[in-house]
Chains A and B, each alone.
Chain A
Amino acid sequence: MVDDDDKKIKAPLTLDLPLVEKYRPHILDDIVGNEETIERLKMIAKDGNMPHLIISGLPGIGKTTSILCLARELLGKYYNDAVLELNASDDRGIEVIRNRIKQFAQKKVSLPAGRHKIIILDEADSMTPGAQQALRRTMEIYSNTTRFAFACNISSKIIEPLQSRCAILRYTKLYDEQVLKRLLEIIKMENIEYTNDGLEALLFTAEGDMRQAINNLQSTVAGFKFVTGDNVYKIVDSPHPLIVKKMLLNAVDKDLNKSLQLLDSLWAKGYSAVDLITTSFKVSKNLDINESLKLEIIKIIGLTHLRILEGVGTYIQLAGMLSQLSCQ
Chain B
Amino acid sequence: MRATRSGRSRGRKAALSDDEIEVQEVKPKMQKKRKPSHSTKSSISSLSMLSRTFNEGKVSTGANSADSAVSAISANNNKKNEVGKGGMGGDDSRQWIDKYAPLSLADLAIHPKKLQEVRTKLKEMVNGETNTRILLLTGPAGSGKSTVVKLLAQELMHEYAKNVKINKDFLINENEEENDDESSKYLVEFINSNLSESQSMVTQFANYLSEVSFLKGPNLKLILVEELPNIFHSETRISFQKAVNDWLSLPGSKLPPLVFCITENEFNDDQGERLYNVENNFIAETIFGSRILNNNKLARIKFNPIAKTFLKKQLDKISTCESASLVDISKSKIDEKIEKLSLNGDIRSAINCFEFWARYYKKISNENNDDVDDLFLTFGKESNLNLFNAIGKIIYGTNHRDIEIINYLKLQDIQNHGKDYSKIDQKIAKLSQSEIDQITISNVLASFSNKSVFFNLNLLENYSMLNSSNFPVCDELASLVDNLSLADIYNSKQMTEIGALLAITSTRYNMRLIKDKIDDDENLDNAYLKYKNNKLNFSRHYKFLRMFNQVKNGIKDYQLWKLSKLSSSTSSSSFLQDEDYGPIPTTLSETDCITIDGYLEPLILNSFRNQEKLRLKILSSHSSGVNYVPSAMLPKYPRVGGPFRSIPNLLSDKQVVVDDSDLLQDGNQYKSIEEKILNILVGDDSKINDEFNKDVDSSDTEFENDPIVESDEDTGTGIKKEKPKDEFLNDFDDSFSSSENESFLANEELEALLSQRKK
Within 8 Å by CB of B411, from A173, A204, A306, lies A173
CB-defined contacts of A116 to chain B, threshold 8 Å = 87, 89, 93
Collect the chain A residues with CB atoms within 8 Å of residue B468's CB.
Answer: none
Instruction: Tell which of B344-352, B555-563, B576-584 binds the partner.
Output: B344-352
Closest 5 CB pairs of A and B: A111-B87, A130-B232, A113-B89, A286-B415, A164-B141
Would A110 and B18 count as touching, CB distance under 8 A? yes
Query: Across the interface, which residues of A come within 8 angstroms of B174, CB to CB?
Result: 141
Instruction: State which residues 3-51 of B face A: CB under 8 Å.
Output: 12, 15, 18-19, 22-23, 26-27, 30
Complex interface: chain A residues within 8 A of B176 (CB): 141
The reply to whether the CB of A129 lies closer than 8 angstroms to some CB of chain B is yes
Q: Which of the residues A164, A165, A166, A295 comes within 8 Å of B483, measured between beta carbons? A: A295
Shortest beta-carbon distance from A67 to chain B in Å: 16
Interface residues of B in 484-514 (CB under 8 A from A): 486, 489-490, 493-495, 497-499, 501-502, 505-506, 509
Interface residue? A22 (CB, 8 A): no
Map CB proximity to A onto B530-561 as digits: 1 under 8 Å, 0 otherwise.
Answer: 00000000000000000000000000000000
Q: Are B86 and A107 in contact (CB under 8 A)?
A: yes
B495 — which chain A residues lie within 8 A by C-beta? 302, 305-306, 309
* Of the residues A113, A160, A175, A294, contact of B381 by C-beta under 8 Å: A160
In A199-245, the 8 Å CB interface with B consists of: 200, 203-204, 207
Known contacts A110-B15, A130-B230, A136-B263; A175/B360 CB under 8 A: no
As a 0/1 sequence over residues 48 to 65 of chain A, the CB contacts with chain B under 8 angstroms (1 = contact) are 110110000000000000
| A111/B486 contact (C-beta < 8 A), A43-B363, A48-B93, A137-B227 known | no
Q: Which residues of the other chain, A, contact B359 by a CB distance below 8 angstroms?
A: 43, 47
Evaluate contact between A146 and B84: CB separation under 8 angstroms.
Answer: yes
Q: Does residue B181 face the partner (Cβ distance < 8 Å to A)?
A: no
Q: A142 at the A/B interface (Cβ < 8 Å)? A: yes
CB distance from A92 to the nearest CB of B (A): 14
Cβ contact within 8 Å between B348 and A165: yes
Q: Which residue of A lies closest to B226 (CB)?
A: A137
Of A109, A164, A298, A299, most buried by chain B (CB within 10 Å of CB) is: A164
Report if B178 contacts A (CB, 8 A). no
Q: Is the CB of B352 within 8 A of A165?
A: yes
A58 to B360, CA, bound (A): 24
A32 to chain B, nearest CB (A): 14
A51 touches B352 (CB 8 A): yes
Q: Verify B379–A160 contact, CB threshold 8 A.
A: no
B194 touches A111 (CB 8 A): no
Q: Mark A103-125, 1 if CB is under 8 A from B, else 0.
A: 10111111111111100000000
Whether A141 lies near B228 (C-beta < 8 A) is no
Is A163 in contact with B355, judged by CB distance below 8 angstroms? no
> Which of A8-16, A151-159, A261-269, A319-327 contacts the other chain?
A151-159
Q: Is B92 in contact with chain A by the CB < 8 A criterion?
A: yes
Q: A49-B93, A203-B414, A292-B509 are in contact. Are A167 and B379 (CB under 8 A)?
A: yes
For residue A18, CB closer than 8 A to chain B, the reply is: no
A19: CB under 8 A from chain B?
A: no
Q: Which residue of A lies closest to B191 (CB)?
A: A137
Among residues of B, the one whose C-beta sits closest to the C-beta of A202 is B414
0/1 per residue, A79-112, Cβ < 8 Å to B?
A: 0001000000000001000110011011111111
When distances are taken between beta carbons in the complex, the residues of chain A under 8 Å from B12 are 108
B505 near A291: Cβ-Cβ < 8 Å = yes
The stretch among A33-41, A186-194, A247-255 that forms the contact with chain B is A33-41
12 extra interchain contacts, Cβ-Cβ under 8 A, other than A170-B378, A291-B509, A292-B509?
A36-B376, A40-B377, A43-B364, A49-B93, A108-B86, A113-B30, A144-B84, A153-B450, A164-B346, A170-B377, A305-B495, A306-B495
Whether the pair B92, A106 counts as a contact (CB closer than 8 A) is: no
Residues of the B chain whose Cβ atoms lie less than 8 Å from the Cβ of A146: 84, 86
B622 smallest CB distance to A (angstroms): 59
Minimum C-beta distance from B259 to chain A (A):
15
A297 to B613, CA, bound (A): 67
Contact digits for B349-390, partner A, Cβ 8 Å, 1 yes 0 no? 100110110011001100000000100111111100000000
A98 and B86 contact, Cβ closer than 8 Å, known pairs A156-B382, A306-B489, A309-B493? no
Bound CA–CA A99/B193 (angstroms): 8
B60: interface (CB < 8 Å): yes
Say if the beta carbon of B131 comes within 8 Å of chain A. no
A145 contacts the other chain (CB 8 A): yes
A94 & B230 in contact (Cβ 8 Å cutoff): yes
The count of chain A contact residues (Cβ–Cβ below 8 Å) is: 85
- Which residues on A sit within 8 Å (CB–CB) of B141? 160-161, 163-164
Residues of A contacting B380 in the complex (Cβ-Cβ under 8 angstroms):
167-168
Contact A175 B140 (CB under 8 A): no
B192 CB-CB contact with A under 8 Å: yes
A113 and B22 contact, CB distance less than 8 A = yes
Chain B interface extent, by class: 35 or more
CB-defined A-B contacts under 8 Å, sample of 18: A36-B373, A40-B364, A40-B377, A106-B84, A106-B86, A108-B86, A112-B22, A112-B26, A114-B89, A128-B279, A159-B282, A168-B378, A170-B376, A173-B411, A175-B410, A176-B412, A295-B502, A302-B502
Does B199 touch A at the CB level, under 8 Å?
Answer: no
**Residues in B neighbouring A20, C-beta threshold 8 A:** none
A301→B487 CA distance, assembly (Å): 12
Q: Which residues of A contact B745 (CB under 8 A)?
A: none
> Is A26's CB within 8 Å of the partner chain B?
no
Taking CB atoms, residues of chain B closer than 8 Å to A141 are 84, 174-176
Check A144 against B60 for contact (C-beta < 8 Å).
Answer: yes
Q: Is A44 an interface residue (CB 8 A)?
A: yes
Nearest chain-A residue to B8 (Cβ)?
A108
* Complex contacts, B18 vs chain A, CB 8 Å: 110
Q: Which of B62, B89, B417, B499 contacts A176 (CB under 8 A)?
A: B417
Is A281 among interface residues, defined by CB-CB distance under 8 A? yes
Report how far A207 CA is from B376 CA in the complex, Å: 19
Let me know if B88 is at the binding interface, CB within 8 A.
yes
| Residues of B with C-beta under 8 A to A204 | 414-415
User: What does the 1/0 interface line of A270-312 toward B look like (CB < 8 Å)?
Assistant: 0000000000010001100011101100110111011001000
Q: Is the CB of B22 within 8 A of A98?
A: no
Q: Does B83 contact A (CB under 8 A)?
A: yes
* CB atoms of B19 and A110 under 8 A apart: yes
Cβ–Cβ contact B509 & A145, under 8 A? no
- A317 interface residue, CB < 8 Å from B? no
- Tell whether, in the assembled complex, residue A176 and residue B414 are in contact, meaning their CB atoms are under 8 Å apart: yes
A51 near B355: Cβ-Cβ < 8 Å: yes
Do B417 and A172 touch (CB < 8 A)?
no
Tell me if A298 and B505 are in contact (CB < 8 A).
yes
Q: A94-B232, A130-B232, A298-B498 are in contact. Are A169 and B89 (CB under 8 A)?
A: no
- Decide yes or no whether B416 CB sits under 8 A from chain A: yes
Q: Tell me whether A106 and B98 are in contact (CB under 8 A).
A: no
The answer for the CA separation of A48 and B22 in the assembled complex, in Å, is 15
